[in-house]
């Protein structure tokens, strides 16, 4: 029982870290921007992040996933971290949080 709580707590800690990573072209963090589709944490503290980019030709396509992986790996509790990029479904403004839409003047 306590292990499942630990993985939930770690998942929440990972989300806090993701909210410190910003798309360099948009002044909103990647979590609120809707680029993070899922965060998986298993009982061994292996982490997998399923994310997308705003476009397949995104200028940070090489660096942003590596930054995400490195920041997640830097957490003491994380044993390993892997970032998987997907474009299914493709990113759209509908995936953005209301906070992000307000920040960008979309709402």
Q: How confident is the model at residue 1 (pLDDT cuts 50, 70, 90)?
A: very low
Q: Which fold has domain 2-91?
A: GMP Synthetase; Chain A, domain 3 (3.30.300)
- Is 28 exposed, middle or buried (CB count within 10 Å of its CB: 0-12, 13-18, 19+)? buried
Q: What is the residue extent of each domain of the chain?
A: 2-91
pTM above 0.85, yes or no: yes
For residue range 80-95, list pLDDT tens digits in order.
999 999 999 999 999 9
Helix and strand element counts for the chain (H, E): 3, 3
With 90 as the cut, is the pLDDT of residue 5 above it?
no
For residue range 26-78, list pLDDT tens digits in order.
889 999 999 999 999 999 999 999 999 998 888 888 899 999 999 999 999 99
């Amino acid at each position: 029982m306590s292990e499942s709580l630990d993985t939930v707590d770690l998942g929440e800690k990972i989300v806090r870290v993701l909210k410190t990573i910003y798309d360099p072209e948009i002044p909103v963090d990647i979590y609120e921007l809707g680029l993070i589709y899922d965060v998986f944490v298993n009982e061994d503290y292996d982490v997998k992040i399923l994310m997308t980019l705003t476009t397949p030709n995104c200028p940070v396509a090489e660096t942003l996933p590596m930054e995400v992986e490195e920041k997640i790996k830097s957490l003491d509790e994380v044993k390993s971290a892997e970032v998987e990029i997907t474009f299914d479904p493709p990113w759209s403004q509908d995936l953005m949080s209301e906070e992000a839409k307000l920040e960008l003047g979309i709402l």
